[in-house]
Structure 1
Amino acid sequence: MSAQHLLLVSAAVLFAAFVQGATGVGFALIAAPVIGIVRPDLLPVCVLVLMLPLNFYVMWRERGAIDRVGAGWISGGRLLGTAGGLWVLAALSASHLSLFVGASTIAAALVTLLMPAFSPGRGAFVAAGLVTGITETATGIGGPPLALVYQHQPAPSMRSTIALCFLVGELVSLVTLMAAGRIDGSQLQAAAQLLPALVVGAVLSRVVHRHINGRVLRVFVQVFAIVSGAALLLHSF
């Protein structure tokens, strides 16, 4: 990446890490469209690699609030969805992947905004894991389905459980992508360059995560995601 592009993406990653550390979701919705505009060839590997330390940190910080039963069902669905995500990657060119990321971002943000309150059961957990497996393996974006099933649960449970599900799923996706030959040195180098911004954002989130109005910030993330997704769609044409 050029210095200008690195500065732009680093700012997005810093903000995305702060938002996810504070609310439990939002990193890929913010970072992936920006990376897709600047360097679509870095998706989804760069986003997945960056989310590993971030989600481990969030999970460990509030590990006592993890919903282990829900996480187990989500992870089962997540494993099934990984193959679908790999198929999407194989079927789409870089420009078509950008279109897919943009459209997926907008759709996921709209669903998260409009979905009414409900109490999730086993079927909802498995379905969320399945959809997450497809979208996260293909694009790096997997938070909205998990946010849907946990959006009305206590904030510590939402943040820590989603982080655990992300962590397990990202490892599965990266192993699958590596076996398929979809990981190269440029993607890992870019992730290493963006790591300082990720750390700063995660540390800043610790200062406010117990006090921030999570509902307001989640709405802001979804609006930002819609704008970013629209920009990515326009950039792809």
Structure 2
Amino acid sequence: MLAALAAVVLVAAFVQGSTGVGFALIAAPVVGILRPGLLPVFLLVLMIPLNVYVAWRERDRLDHRGAGWITAGRLAGTLGGIWVLLAIPMDRLNLLIGVSTVLAALAGLAAPAFRPGRGALLVAGAVTGVTETSTGVGGPPLALVYQHQPAAVLRATVAVCFLVGEVISLVLLAATGRATGAQFGTALLLLPALALGALLSRWVHHRLDGRLMRALVLAFALASGVLVMLHG
């Protein structure tokens, strides 16, 4: 099981390092099947060093204004995510992850081109706070608002927003007793796989068509979301 988790973490880190999104979309359904009790802390812990790396690598393309509005919405959404965790039993989180992943994938594939304004950024931040705190999956709303921006802008801004939100989510999860030593310990064991995937992405991130890669990630999310829904 640890080898399977390492493999999916490596692939997910490579995809997110290359496109800016996809880590939780790829990893959460698999982790939800293999070890649902690890969610969401397992994903949040691993995504912190990954997003530090991506944010530093793409720091010159950061959308400061957008990151600010998303973070403001994220603060409110995180409290909603805590409520979801307290209200829904752990054995139902698989179903929640599957449904949210499928809906996000469908929305991402169908969304028309647009330039995000303040309202869209706030809503994306709030929804991300709810979904990432409760399930570990927070990328789809941010990918939607930045999907028509240059790939480097998406990677830099999403990484910074993820980083701030993940720290907030982990603090609140720990304060409410929803974080365990086993979740942290398993995540730390998989840091080498995460690092390898992130470093591999360095050689391809500037060569890939960001829109095509995001479509592939969302297509994978659709298939894996259906699978985890059936499992749940």
The answer to whether 1:90 aligns with 2:86 is yes
TM-score, length basis structure 2: 0.98
Query: How far apart, CA to CA, are the structure 1 residues paired with 2:175 and 2:90?
Result: 20
Deviation (angstroms), 1:23: 0.5
Deviation (angstroms), 1:95: 1.6
Query: How far apart, CA to CA, are the structure 1 residues paired with 2:146 and 2:27?
Result: 22
Gaps of 5+ in 1: none
Which of residues 146, 149, 156 in structure 2 aligns to 1:153?
A: 149
Query: How far apart, CA to CA, are the structure 2 residues paired with 1:143 and 1:184?
Result: 24
The answer to whether 1:72 aligns with 2:41 is no
Counterpart amino acid of residue 209 in structure 1: H
The answer to whether 1:222 aligns with 2:218 is yes
Query: How far apart, CA to CA, are the structure 1 residues paired with 2:188 and 2:224?
Result: 23
Query: How far apart, CA to CA, are the structure 2 residues paired with 1:13 and 1:224?
Result: 15
The answer to whether 1:117 aligns with 2:123 is no
Cross-structure match for 1:233:
229
The answer to whether 1:193 aligns with 2:189 is yes
Cross-structure match for 2:202:
206
Cross-structure match for 2:163:
167
What is the count of residue pairs matched by the alignment?
232
Could you report, residue by residue, the CA deviation over 1:177-212 in whole angstroms, capped at 9, with x for unpaired residues? Answer: 011011111101110121111111000000000001
Cross-structure match for 2:4:
8
Query: How far apart, CA to CA, are the structure 1 residues paired with 2:154 and 2:212?
Result: 16
Which of residues 39, 54, 68 in structure 2 aligns to 1:58?
A: 54
Counterpart amino acid of residue 110 in structure 1: L
Cross-structure match for 2:132:
136
Cross-structure match for 2:45:
49
Cross-structure match for 2:17:
21
Percent sequence identity is 61
Query: How far apart, CA to CA, are the structure 1 residues paired with 2:92 and 2:5?
Result: 21
Query: How far apart, CA to CA, are the structure 2 residues paired with 1:175 and 1:109?
Result: 28
- CA RMSD of superposed structures (Å): 0.7
Deviation (angstroms), 1:233: 1.1
Could you report, residue by residue, the CA deviation over 1:96-147 in whole angstroms, capped at 9, with x for unpaired residues? Answer: 1110011111111111111000011000100000000000000011111101
Deviation (angstroms), 1:80: 0.4
SS in 2 for 1:207: coil
Query: How far apart, CA to CA, are the structure 1 residues paired with 2:146 and 2:14?
Result: 19
Deviation (angstroms), 1:214: 1.7
Gaps of 5+ in 2: none
Could you report, residue by residue, the CA deviation over 1:45-90 in whole angstroms, capped at 9, with x for unpaired residues? Answer: 0000000000000000010110001100000000000111001001
Query: How far apart, CA to CA, are the structure 1 residues paired with 2:122 and 2:191?
Result: 32
Deviation (angstroms), 1:216: 1.7
Query: How far apart, CA to CA, are the structure 2 residues paired with 1:13 and 1:112?
Result: 23
Counterpart amino acid of residue 6 in structure 2: S
Query: How far apart, CA to CA, are the structure 2 residues paired with 1:204 and 1:235?
Result: 32
TM-score, length basis structure 1: 0.96
